[in-house]
Structure 1
Amino acid sequence: MLACSALNTASRRQQIESWEASEMNKEVVTPRPAERVNFPIDVQFHAACKNSELDEVKELLSKGVDIDVANVDGLTVLHQACIDNNYEVVQFLLSNNANVNAQDNEGWTPLHACASCSYTELAKYVPTLYRFLKLISGFKMIAFF
């Protein structure tokens, strides 16, 4: 065991000496400055709503982001807040006139999101979505409470 350890130490010492003598060791490496990633304002808005960062949401709205901006699936932030059962964000968005009738790429409204997830309390809060309301999407799915 001791002979093996001495052999490894000698081998490692030889590797270090070889590296120190090499041209690679003499090259000056200057680190590249970190590149900053900037996401589009609509992506920032979706992320801020998803994370319930209402101060950031307010700031982005003041910069002119459309409250009803949709992602590639047609989901608005109101759709996403309903999917996440995020009462605080839903309340904020509705108080700032988010479109409760916005449809995603499959014709679903925020109410459909509430209904499909069984979020009845949240659905009852959404204005114009009262007790016996029926909405029919492109798939003829009926959501009512």
Structure 2
Amino acid sequence: MLSETEAVLRLVLATLLGGALGFERELSDKPAGLRTHMLVAEGAALFMVGSMLLAQDFSQPTAGGLIDPSRIGSTIVTGVGFLGGGMILRARDRVYGLTTAAGIWVAAAIGMLVGAGYYLIAIVGTLIGIVTVVLFRRLEERLSVAKESGQQAMGRASDDD
């Protein structure tokens, strides 16, 4: 049985974990940063906690029906996909905002997991998300510099011919 105190703790944890994921986006001056990630994670947790409370209260034989919390979870994924899609921009031959959109999607998943009471999985998911965004950005930057250096070297060789 999910108490109101436990529900509030889940909301707070989801918000904090979403903020941890959004912190790097904020430092990188991206459109969806700290507050956006926090709100997405909190919103997802609210929907999950709410659906679990509804299932708990109204899935009794005397209530006359069953409520499936996973149905609300699937609508969270759809709604957040729409939100993330709005963050992806294309300019000429470049696409921007994919990492931010993916971060919003992960923040929703983290919120859903916390809302459902899967704290360890949510915390590990948050840590993996942070490592992915921070460390792999550095790796991408190094690969990009190496790639550009290689293209310039090949360009110079053909100019000399």
Q: TM-score range by the shorter chain?
A: under 0.3
TM-score of the two chains, using structure 1 as the length reference: 0.21
Bigger helix fraction = 2
Task: Determine which structure has more spread, i.e. the larger CA radius of gyration.
Answer: 1
Q: Which has the higher contact order (CA 8 A, sep 6+)?
A: 2
